[in-house]
Chains A and B, each alone.
Chain A
Amino acid sequence: MNLAGRDIRYHLGRFLLTGLGIGLLLATVMAMGGIYRGMVEDALSMIRGAGADLWVVQKGTAGPFAEVSRVPEDLYRAIRAVSGVRDASPVAFQSVQLRQGERRLRVQLIGARGGALGMPPAVAAGRPIGAARHEMIADLRADLALGSQVSIGRLRFTVVGLTDGLVSSSGDPVVHVSLMDAQEIQFLKGSEAIRNERARLEADLSGRGPGGPDAASVAPLVQNTHLANAVLVALEPWADKDEVAARIQRWNHYRAMTGAEQEEVLTRSVIERARQQILLFRVTLLAVSTVIIALIIYTMTMEKTRDIATLKVIGAPDRTIATLILQESLGLGLLGFLLGWALIGQTYEFFPRRVAIEPVDQYVLLGIVVGICALASLLGIRRALSVDPTTALGGGAQ
């Protein structure tokens, strides 16, 4: 005869309601774990989706996901000549705001040469970018229909293709445009800025006296948009990644990072703070859950003081009484865990960003829940074992 089971059954409504409360807390813990996991997956999907073995970035930087990195667009030609390199292509990355009528949407813009590295390997609907300018492939998360017109800065685009599951580490959907469009968005200055710069240039050059270059001939050099944030490199199957990277790094001004290093940059540097924050939230929520379970179990124990005293008078050993409290605590935690899992399982798709619920994370959390329930029961067990059996002999009728 399981006393905890009988008590739970007798107070089923209250137990379910309490379990639901714990379940909501644990669902939040699960959601936060899922958000972090989703953040990592999103970030990695963007890197892995690029299909590059090496990322050549500006020397002294950790690449476009961590800081500003600028390399010449035509660097890819030199890299292609390196032994072991199958393909190389420049790419531009930028987080921008996209407009569709009155709608504003933050997206991760990737500019790449048509059909080259950096463009999505496949589209879920529509077609890849065919024209040199003003076409866009958007992720389904952007909720843009094929054929719809959108604007970024001064440029207008037609959505010609859709991808599925390409988002940035911030959860923003990824849109792909031609490298030229991306360069114009990122590097071309506004008309006002160009006029100001031209005037400043003319003033500087006029001070140097006759015979020097005029402002009109120098201006295109100053307003160079033939830049990229990185050059993606695909290697031949037989090529040694480290050897090729070392060779490229011997050139001044460039750093060659492997895909794994880029993933490391994203997961360790860019997402690290979010990870720590989410971890702190999770620990706080688990601590709150522990305190709540402990208080509920303690209150339930207090309510059973006379029953526990009666059990002691009848002759129940401490083991039986401690088991009663421990099992109720575990029951409450497990019920909360199952309700939380069911809740998150039904709602995770409605979260504004990806929530990746992994079974392994859930099993780890289950272990933690069992641990905190055992911990939470200690207060109740301590209280129960200290109940004076003489308490059973006083008082009025039930």
Chain B
Amino acid sequence: MSVVEGRGLTKVFGAGEGAVTALRDAAIEVDAGELVAIMGPSGSGKTTLLRALSLIDPPTAGDISFGGERVCAGGRVLTDDRKLRLTRMGIIFQAYNLIPFLTTLENVALPLVLAGAPNAVAFRGARLLLEGLDLAGRAGVHPATLSGGEQQRVAVARAVVNDPAVILADEPTAALDTERGRAVMELLRRLGRERGAAVIVVTHDERMIEGFDRVYHMTDGRIRTARGGGDPAAAVV
């Protein structure tokens, strides 16, 4: 059963003659534990699709379901989008977006605290996660003192700390060199599999999608093809 499914997703910015259609009738389906990449050139609509799926910027038209529950119908959001993201999604940003005035540990614990977990429970969970990522020694420092790779690993930890059903990552390796980028992708793969979460990664870097289960290619706001990762012959759409 698909954990997230989008049908007929369309996003139009503006109105009248100046209207720009960034997403046109896109359809996407991701199963639990599946590793999916959305690729395409700049302006192809891949980030718009990610924003729509996360309900950060809901589609103008189309339906989105989460674990079989419809959360957006005809472009109308049917649920508390923030609560949905807090409890069932983990989001990773291109620029890491760690909260600068919180320590590494506090950044990772933040989603648990926001979801209502007691501080002690949240910090224990965050500390365990940081230990697993070899970041325990950096738990007490602020993000400004971390390297780019460390910041992105902390951001990944923050995205998975709530055991989300889906992890959505927007160009998570764009600000990293190839080696660190591969390490972050490997981490996403590992954590996704370990936790049974679907991982949807928006990227424009072909080198980063090795081992992905499915790859969606987008141009001009449309999903043109979906293939098995690394196997151009495995076209499904």
Q: Which residues of A contact B (CB under 8 A)?
A: 1, 3, 6-7, 9-11, 306-307, 310-317, 320, 389-390, 392-398
Contact = CB atoms under 8 A, between A and B. Distances in A.
Contacts of B87: 315
A315 B110 CA distance: 10
Given A396-B175, A398-B143, A314 B93 contact: no
Interface in B77-113: 82-87, 89, 91, 93-102, 106, 109-111, 113
B102 A6 contact: yes
Contacts of B97: 306-307, 310, 313, 392, 398
B67 interface: no
A394 B202 CA distance: 13
Given A390-B51, A393-B47, A398-B143, A313 B56 contact: yes
17 contacts: A1-B106, A1-B122, A10-B142, A307-B97, A307-B100, A307-B101, A310-B97, A312-B82, A313-B85, A314-B110, A314-B111, A314-B158, A315-B114, A315-B115, A392-B97, A393-B56, A397-B94
A1 B51 contact: no
A11 B144 CA distance: 13
B63 interface: no
Contacts of A393: 47, 51, 56, 93-94, 170
B119 interface: yes
A7 B56 contact: no
Contacts of B100: 10, 307, 398
A322 to B, nearest CB: 14
Contacts of B102: 1, 3, 6
Where chain A touches its partner, the secondary structure class is helix
B224 to A, nearest CB: 23
Nearest to A310: B97
Contacts of B170: 393
B101 A390 contact: no
Contacts of A395: 95
Nearest to B148: A397
A396 B99 CA distance: 14
Nearest to B122: A1
A389 B115 CA distance: 18
Interface of B: 47, 51, 54, 56-57, 82-87, 89, 91, 93-102, 106, 109-111, 113-115, 119, 122, 142-144, 148, 151, 158, 170, 175
Given A390-B51, A390-B57, A397-B175, A315 B93 contact: no
A6 B110 CA distance: 12
Contacts of B101: 3, 6-7, 9-11, 307
B40 to A, nearest CB: 16
Contacts of B111: 314-315
B85 A315 contact: yes
Contacts of B115: 315
Nearest first, the 3 A-B pairs at minimum CB distance are A315-B86, A10-B101, A397-B175
Given A313-B85, A390-B56, A398 B109 contact: no
B151 A313 contact: no
Given A9-B101, A315-B114, A398-B98, 11 more contacts: A10-B142, A311-B99, A311-B114, A313-B93, A314-B86, A314-B110, A389-B57, A390-B57, A394-B95, A397-B175, A398-B144
Contacts of A6: 101-102, 106
Nearest to A303: B100
Contacts of A3: 99, 101-102
Contact of A310 (B47, B82, B93, B94): B93
Given A6-B106, A390-B56, A390-B57, A397 B95 contact: yes
Nearest to B80: A317
A389 to B, nearest CB: 5
B211 to A, nearest CB: 25
A398 B95 contact: yes
